[in-house]
């Protein structure tokens, strides 16, 4: 049985529509007009225990809204969700003790105290036993290399260090389901990598089910085999990350190195879109069905040293997917 089951989940926000300008503001006092925004539109998916799934979509696609419904902060307009058999928005304590939501920009640590105090507070809130607490603390502070920082005021920590403590605070009670909303947002590349590696390792060792949103493709590529892509509230893809490319990219890239230079853009133009050209090297974008024909033609017409056929980088594919969806 899946640990997370979402069926036909929709969330419609009603927002007040205001006419522009001062006049509009006054009119709005008496005659309010509302518009409906479908933040999440009939989304269904299910996640098995132990999976690490990436939740992908541009800003405003409905990722965070979905996570908020799964963590019980928001009621859906229609549809159902079950997480570990619980309906999240009933907010049962038993449910709240078994999951965690980490929001990259929302802080749960107390600013004017050392991190260890906030961690201890969380231990008590979740009713974690002393022994389990010690065990988790030893392990996590070691893994994330923050043991020495436990006694430092939170306000004096860097963003990356705070994020690490934020993660520890959320994992003290060993949640079975971990929802991560942009865990690496605002972090530098090194800190991003640290957090990413930790999440991957944690998922592998503990079999904790993780649903992660991020708009850094690097995060998703490094962590998730499976992705659920949503755009404008609708689910547009659910499957292996590699399959995104196959399904959404109609083109491949051919890179050629020539033995003798002097190949011009015009000579290649008929074969595909020329993305890059130097006297000895060229990159062409060619539609999938034409790849064979184009590479044969190149091999026949030019003095080729090396030829390489690659998929378009996933980042580009997804970016295009979003753009097309937005039209």
Partner 1 sequence: MSAGTASVSKSPFHKYWVILSTRTQEDMSYRANYVFGAIFRFLPLVTLIFLWYAVYQSRKVIGGDLTIKGMTFNDMITYNALMYVARGFSSVPGTTSDISKDIKDGLLNRYLIRPINYLWYQVMYRLAHKLVFWYVALFTFPPIFFLMRHYFSHVPTMVETGAFVISLVTAFCIGILFCFMIGTLAFWFTEISTFLFVVMMIEFFLSGQMIPLNILPQSMQPLLMLSPFGYEGYWPCAILMGKVPQDQLAQVLGTGFCWVVVFYFLGQVLWKAGLKRYSAVGG
Chain positions contacting partner 1, by CB under 8 A: 13-14, 65, 68, 71-75, 89, 91, 93, 96-101, 103, 106, 108, 110, 112-113, 117-118, 120-122, 124-130, 132, 135, 139, 172-176, 205-208
Residue closer to partner 1 by CB (options 206, 287) is: 206
Cβ-in-10-Å burial (0-12, 13-18, 19+) of 152 comes to middle
Closest CB to partner 1 among 70 and 187? Answer: 70
Structure tokens at 151: 């006694």
Cα distance between the two ends of the chain: 38
Rg (CA), the chain: 25
User: Smallest distance from the beta carbon of 309 to partner 1, in angstroms?
Assistant: 43
Residues 162, 194 contacting (CB under 8 angstroms):
no
Measure the CA–CA gap between 207 and 267, rounded to whole angstroms. 55
| Nearest CB to partner 1, comparing residues 99 and 322 | 99
User: CB 19 → partner 1: shortest distance, Å?
Assistant: 18
**Residue closer to partner 1, measured from CB, 14 or 288:** 14
Shortest distance in whole angstroms from residue 47 CB to partner 1: 14
- Please report which residue ranges of the chain form alpha helices under DSSP H: 21-30, 63-70, 93-96, 115-126, 130-143, 159-171, 189-206, 217-223, 241-248, 265-269, 291-301, 314-326
**Nearest-approach distance from CB 208 to partner 1, in angstroms:** 4
According to DSSP, the β-strands at 4-17 and 33-47 are: antiparallel
Q: Tell the smallest beta-carbon distance from residue 236 to partner 1 (Å).
A: 23
What is the closest distance, in whole angstroms, from the C-beta atom of residue 145 to partner 1 in the complex?
Answer: 19
Residue among 83 and 321 whose Cβ is closer to partner 1:
83
Looking at beta carbons only, is 90 or 273 nearer to partner 1? 90
Minimum CB separation from partner 1 for residue 294, in Å?
A: 50
Question: What residue has token string 């902060």?
Answer: 73
- Residue among 161 and 181 whose Cβ is closer to partner 1: 181
Sheet containing strand 99-103, edge to edge, reads: 99-103, 177-181, 209-213, 52-56, 226-231, 234-240
- In three-state secondary structure terms, 223 is helix
Toward partner 1, which CB reaches closer, 95 or 322? 95
Cα separation, 70 vs 58, in Å, equals: 19
Neighbour-count burial of 93, counting CB atoms closer than 10 A to its CB (0-12 exposed, 13-18 middle, 19+ buried) = exposed
Residue 95 C-beta: closest distance to partner 1, Å: 9
């Amino acid at each position: 049985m899946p640990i997370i089951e979402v069926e036909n989940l929709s969330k419609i926000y009603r927002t007040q529509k205001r006419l522009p300008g001062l006049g509009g503001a006054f009119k709005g006092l008496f005659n309010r007009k509302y518009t409906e925004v479908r933040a999440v539109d009939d989304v269904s998916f299910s996640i098995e225990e132990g999976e690490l799934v990436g939740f992908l979509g541009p800003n405003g696609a409905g990722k965070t809204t979905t996570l908020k419904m799964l963590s019980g902060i928001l009621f859906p307009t229609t549809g159902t969700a079950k997480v570990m058999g619980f309906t999240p928005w009933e907010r049962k304590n038993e449910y709240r003790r078994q999951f965690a939501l980490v929001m990259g920009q929302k802080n749960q640590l107390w600013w004017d105290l050392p991190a260890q105090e906030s961690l201890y507070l969380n231990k008590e809130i979740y009713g974690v036993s002393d022994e389990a607490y010690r065990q988790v603390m030893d392990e996590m502070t070691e893994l994330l290399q923050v043991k020495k920082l436990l006694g430092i005021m939170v306000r004096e920590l860097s963003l990356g260090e705070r994020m690490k403590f934020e993660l520890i605070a959320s994992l003290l009670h060993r949640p079975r389901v971990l929802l991560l909303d942009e865990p690496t947002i605002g972090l530098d590349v090194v800190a991003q990598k640290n957090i990413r590696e930790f999440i991957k390792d944690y998922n592998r060792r503990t079999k904790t089910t993780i649903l992660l949103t991020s708009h850094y493709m690097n995060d998703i590529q490094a962590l998730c085999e499976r992705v659920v892509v949503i755009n404008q509230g609708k689910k547009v893809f659910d499957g292996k990350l590699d399959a995104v490319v196959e399904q959404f990219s109609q083109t491949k890239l051919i890179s050629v190195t020539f033995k003798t230079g002097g190949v011009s853009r015009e000579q290649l133009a008929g074969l595909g879109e020329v993305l890059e050209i130097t006297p000895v090297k060229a990159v062409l974008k060619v539609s999938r069905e034409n790849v064979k024909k184009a590479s044969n033609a190149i091999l026949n017409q030019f003095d080729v040293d090396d030829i390489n056929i690659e998929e378009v980088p996933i980042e580009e594919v997804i970016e295009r997917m979003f753009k097309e969806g937005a039209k």
